[in-house]
Structure 1
């Protein structure tokens, strides 16, 4: 069972706007599907074509993540190399040329979407409609989920968070050869995905789901054991689901895991523990704050 499936409840998923028109493919052309999470590939016409690994793949991912905006040459160089070799500008031009050729071989319209703006330094853009890119699906639904969450629409938030997680298939940009800046960019998406998983579980908890959320939260904690938000959710769903032994076991496990990394439970987590000991159901169901993860001290 995947990391998204394990905590998903069947709630109808809203559609994303097509995004075709001014930026993207003509309405008469069925666009290829661009996948950046889990693998980096282009699907269309009954085939799936991976983008060549290494620096060329890093250029492709970096351009797609810019959502059609022009990217200056220096920005791409910084994402490819921590310290640029003298040959870096020439190498980048070669990567752009090969990428354009590879995309055109998959789909001529896709090849034409890689645009070069010449002038005071080169700028590049990969103009692809939002509906064709998995990460943009993720961003679209994650943002709308947050909006519904702030508006108090729990079911609407859950629907959008579920749709966001359905678009996310694994780590962003595997097989890319880039700089620490590119790695940091990927990490921001990873953190965003973890937050969406927590908020999806929170939305489902507010809709009355409890113990069925445990497998998904456990899987999240295996990949991110310092996420106090996920630990707090695990404490709450087991308590509200009537499994107090599991709640206390999870508390001791959380304290030990944090201690292994030189951390103590946050004040919010301690307050939740005290609410559990007092059997304060109202505070457990609707805590004023759920903490996120913290770096080891």
Structure 2
């Protein structure tokens, strides 16, 4: 990401797209203006050509599409930098041939903060700092207000980023469960993992963690049931056998291996 804004505008994309400054919510006009903002946020400071914006916003662009993009950008600039004087260069939503770029500060977008927290949690868990990892992940997951880029879920230009953020969210839930297990809070982890595994039945790691959490809660039968359910789901839905981690955990549970405790 390049550049940084001097204005303190916070952007939210983990839910409906929004912008908030010191005075409260920034007024955003209409779905296409909001789409321009979302598209620029997805670009993470890179330049998005005008023609790309036109193609993203209209399936069959009209003759005035380029002029409409310019109007949307001008309105967004006024909303994001209301104190900017006429003819003063924009600091946040800048013109950069062949298009535009949004110079958002690294900590001003909730999705970027969430991504940083998930990355940090992996390092913290590896270093044995489960308590700190749990705190970071709890705060990070609380940033979600709904589906990422909620109003643009059906747009092709948003789909890859939505999928990436959804994958990170699932990983965050699983790492939070790992943190709970490391802290001896297996029953709490099992409760959360049950919902997670049911919502993401093809995530083998979710089933493995659920089975381990149940085993450490003294529920061996339920742990094995989770592994059987995972196997049945993978075979039925994907036509594949469980991976080595799941198979090894089943064998260890049956053997009541000491390292599981």
Give the TM-score taking structure 2 as reference length.
0.81
State how 1:5-154 maps to structure 2 within 5 Å. 23-25=4-6, 31-45=8-22, 47-49=24-26, 51-52=28-29, 54-77=31-54, 79-80=56-57, 85=61, 87=63, 89-104=66-81, 107-108=82-83, 112-118=91-97, 121-122=98-99, 124-154=100-130
State how 1:195-210 maps to structure 2 within 5 Å. 195-210=171-186
Check conservation: 1:37, 1:171, Cα contact below 8 A: yes
The whole-number CA distance in structure 1 between the counterparts of 2:121 and 2:80 is 33
Check conservation: 1:55, 1:178, Cα contact below 8 A: no
Pair 1:228–1:80, CA change in 2 (3 A)? farther
The whole-number CA distance in structure 2 between the counterparts of 1:261 and 1:50 is 45
Pair 1:44–1:211, CA change in 2 (3 A)? same
Q: Runs ≥4 in structure 1, deviation > 6 angstroms? A: none
Structure 1 residue 217 corresponds to structure 2 residue 193: yes
Q: 1:270 maps to what in 2?
A: 247
Pair 1:250–1:53, CA change in 2 (3 A)? farther
Q: 1:163 maps to what in 2?
A: 139
The whole-number CA distance in structure 2 between the counterparts of 1:77 and 1:147 is 41
User: Which SS does the other structure have where 2:15 is aligned?
Assistant: coil
Q: What's the CA shift for 1:84? A: 6.2
The whole-number CA distance in structure 2 between the counterparts of 1:248 and 1:178 is 39
Q: Taking CA–CA contacts closer than 8 Å with sequence separation of 6 or more, which of the two structures ends up with the larger relative contact order? A: 1
Q: What's the CA shift for 1:86? A: 6.2
Please give the root-mean-square deviation of Cα atoms over the aligned residues, in Å.
2.8
In the alignment of these two chains, the number of paired residues is 252
Give the TM-score taking structure 1 as reference length.
0.73
Point out where structure 1 has 5 or more consecutive residues left out of the alignment: 1-21, 286-297
The whole-number CA distance in structure 1 between the counterparts of 2:251 and 2:28 is 52
The whole-number CA distance in structure 2 between the counterparts of 1:163 and 1:75 is 35
Q: What's the CA shift for 1:90? A: 4.2
